[in-house]
Amino acid sequence: MLDIRNEIKNSSPKAGFELSEDQKAHLRTAGEVALAVAMTAGVVALSAIAPNAFVALDKIFGKKQYGSRKNTVVKRQNQLTKSFYYMRRQGYINIEKRGGLLMVYPTKKGQERLREINFKNLSVKKPKHWNGNWWMVVADIPKQFRIAANTFQKKLKQMEFYPLQRTVWIHPFDPREEIESVATHYHINPFVTLMEIKQLDHSDYELLEDFFRKKGLI
């Protein structure tokens, strides 16, 4: 029998595959943390990846929810143990014993699940300093792709773009990587154009500035 709980209890940190701050910010559950850490690490000992998962759990839930320091350790271990068992039962990861260690490695199903999670939580990366320019997304999508057009617009809204016109969306930060991902997902790349705008009409500028300041983005 695989003793995942004991392996996590005796875990020790290992550098080289820590989750990025962006990854941590978009994970919502302990299960997603377990899956993301496993995917980032590849084939590796469970005892090595557990500490990195603890860091991500603290980012999501905060240490205060656990109470005392002793409770923090025990509850995080229990939370992570259940998550790894769940991910294994669902077929997202495999865990097997090799040379006295429990080795974790992702499955194709797990890789697909993480891609779904990443896409669902996709957002435009915020730079340290905004250069004052705007990015315009023009989506001139033919009527026969109406369903894709509608879902694309919903995704842009979820990603906090501002609809300046029905087919024109604005964001203050460079969204090229994210828009490429979304357009590819919906198979509408040929109909989506991106451009950086240095000047806008005064009324449009005030409208956008007010919108994105209220969002806390600029």
Whether 113 and 121 have beta carbons less than 8 Å apart is answered as no
Say which CATH architecture domain 4-120 belongs to: Orthogonal Bundle (1.10)
Please report, for residues 15, 21, 41, 51, the alpha-carbon distance to residue 44 in angstroms, rounded to integers and kept in the order given.
Answer: 12, 21, 6, 13
Q: What is the pLDDT of residue 179?
A: 97
List phi, psi (to 5°) of 96.
-140, 155
Domain ranges of the chain: 4-120, 134-214
Please state the pTM of the whole predicted model: 0.73
Question: How does residue 216 score in pLDDT terms, banded at 50, 70 and 90?
Answer: very high
Q: What is the DSSP letter of 123?
A: -
**Cβ neighbours for 61, distance < 8 A, ≥ 6 positions apart:** none
Report whether CATH 3.90.1300.10 matches the domain 134-214.
no
pLDDT, tens digit, 9 for 90 and up, residues 76-129: 778 778 888 888 889 988 888 887 777 888 889 988 988 888 898 899 999 999
Q: What is the pLDDT of residue 38?
A: 72
pLDDT, tens digit, 9 for 90 and up, residues 115-166: 888 898 899 999 999 999 999 999 999 999 999 999 999 999 999 999 999 9
Indicate the helix (H) or strand (E) that contains 88: helix 69-89
Under the phi-then-psi rule, with left for phi > 0, alpha for psi from -120 to 50, and beta for the rest, what region is 202? alpha
Question: How does residue 2 score in pLDDT terms, banded at 50, 70 and 90?
Answer: low
Same fold, 4-120 and 134-214: no
Q: Which amino acid is at 192?
A: V
Whether 208 and 134 have beta carbons less than 8 Å apart is answered as yes
